[in-house]
Amino acid sequence: IDTPIRVAHLGISSVVSIVDDLLLERVREHYSRLFHLPYEKIYRFTEDGRARRTTAYLDMLHEIVRRKMEAVRNLPFFQPNDKTKYFELLPDEHPLKRDYQRMLEMQPGPECEALQADLTKRMVPGEFDVNIMTKIDRLNVDKAGHLLSDEYSDAKASLRGFANSAAAGAVEFSAGLNRGLFNYITRFRDFYRNETGAIKKKIILKVSDFRSALVQGKILAKNGLEVHEFRIESGLNCGGHAFASNGYLLPMLLREFREKRDQLKAEFQPMVMKFYESMGWHYHDDAHKAEPIITVQGGIGINGEDRRMREQFGMDRTGWATPFLLVPEATCVDNATREQLCRATEEDVYLSDASPLGVPFNNLRNTGSEVWTRTKAEKGNPGSGCPKGFLVTNTEFSETPICTAATEYQKQKLAQAASDSCSDTDRKEHVEKVLVKTCLCEHLANSALIALGITQASRAPQAVCPGPNIAWFDRLYSLQEMVDHIYGRRPSLVPAERPHMFAKEIVMYVDYFEKLVHRCTYTQREVSTLREYYENLEQGMNECLSIALSKPYKEENLSSIPPTVKEQRKRLRDIVARFEHEATAIAA
């Protein structure tokens, strides 16, 4: 929520979620007072309040980052300050870092002073992008309960808030295609090239495979919109919501992008140029050279894995998130949650069904949120009062959508389960499926509110959603330590026995396949999909074995891949044998 305030002036880029505009407003009030900025509250039911709260928050971030960056530029060299830290954090191969190191070796004098002035001029803040989950697109009502028009839906209002702000970063769309939202982007000129060929507001698509990138990119290109970056994420080995592929492991996805990346520009650019021509706009000469950036994130834990992403698979950049939950300089997490994260083992991080969206959710066991949810259920008053309602999707018991984590829904669903004529085992399973849902809207925000002193821990159950990597980071780290770990400039912060990120992903995909088989009702479509999943996973394991034969990068645990493949392949084939036996019996 506030990472740009913490690290943008040090040249580090980050992404801010703008799903929860009510959280944005409370944090804006806090930082406006801290930095002596004017603040006027935007109330919940203010006209176009969601968009206005988003704009106001991003404008505040923009101003604070501008001020902090200017202050850093004005600091002297050769002193232990943020200016020195800015340059020390840069990758060693960065041109600015090389010139800085050259300056350190120069004798005092006009030449050194000229280089210092040049270095200072070239210092720029890290970008801050915003994330919009396309699936969170609730229609809203006014204070009187009247339904507002489609342009006031959650996703469109968030986009409008970003578009109207001073922020010049990118919007990252995650969770899949939302045609209405993509069409709405066309209303804002900043998403198109200006007379100099620059795009002020860029578009990032988080994608799970090449086909998804191609389909979504074409839809945007037909409206003249260019994708600045395709951000590939492991389907399961990540934090938060996990959008699993149908058995496609990350190495297979990366290879396809590497082999077909030229196809993206070839497909999109003619469509974009045709749109500009239809609008009577000039398509700048420099724009012809532009092509989408391809990046990857999810499960990367050491420099050797990071290098493989860039050097073998040709990724332009990599993303790290989960380890920074243990870097207080970078992230806003309350002390109790950070302590839990430090102690977390592989068993403590699990793929849960906690999300009301019905999407698998990487979760941490025994957080304040889990304890609160469990205690309420045990006392006979399950669920949440649903104070924010961002995840309302269910219309089983009402015309107006409600959230599956809400008390209103859970009590009716439990009553239904109690009256069903089914076995005790099935009834217990139905009850567990109801009670596992958690109020993520409220609880994911609470950690930041506690950490900033805005609310008390006793009144705010906190949830956190790390990726499995957190199990291998076991203490708090300085920003310098973590960045040096990422760039391979220090001894590794994780033990040598940590499994390779590809080995971990294999285990997670076999686990998930087992869960899908358990839930299978053996329709023809389900059986076909699971067979395809199995075939893809087998191919992915072969791909991983090929990688394991290559020369490892620094501290890269390739030796963990073959035994993992051997163990998980046997397990997978046992699951498939039981699945096929059941499928054959039902078909007969």
CA distance 353 to 586: 28
pLDDT tens-digit map of 377-415: 999 999 999 999 999 999 999 989 999 999 999 999 999
pLDDT of residue 145: 86
Give the pLDDT of residue 587.
85
CB 193 within 8 A of CB 285: no
Give the tens place of pLDDT for each residue, 497-516: 999 999 999 999 999 999 99
Q: H helices then E strands: how many in the chain? A: 20, 10
Q: How many CB atoms lie within 10 A of CB 278?
A: 9
Question: Contact at 8 Å (CB) between 409 and 394?
Answer: yes
Q: What do you get for the CA distance between the two ends of the chain, in Å?
A: 55
What's the pLDDT score for residue 225?
Answer: 98
pLDDT at 588 over 90: no
Q: What residue segments make up the domains of the chain, in order of their start?
A: 327-491
Alpha-carbon span 237 to 207, nearest angstrom:
14
Between vectors from CA 1 to CA 4 and to CA 201, what angle results, nearest 5°?
60
The rounded radius of gyration (Å) of the Cα atoms in the chain is 25
The helix (H) or strand (E) run that includes residue 579 is: helix 561-587
Q: Which DSSP letter does residue 322 get? A: G
> Residue 230: helix, strand or coil by DSSP?
strand
- 425 pLDDT tier (thresholds 50, 70, 90): confident
Q: How many residues does the chain have?
A: 588
For the chain, percent of residues with pLDDT exceeding 70? 100
How far is 460 from 19, CA to CA, in rounded Å?
A: 19
**236 in Cβ contact with 357 (< 8 Å):** no
pLDDT tens column, 288-315: 999 999 999 999 999 999 999 999 999 9
Give per-residue pLDDT as tens, 333-377: 999 999 999 999 999 999 999 999 999 999 999 999 999 999 999
Q: pLDDT tens digits, residue range 2-50?
A: 999 999 999 999 999 999 999 999 999 999 999 999 999 999 999 999 9
What is the pTM for the complete model shown? 0.96
Using CA atoms, how far residue 439 sits from 256, 382, 399, 560, in Å, is: 38, 11, 21, 37
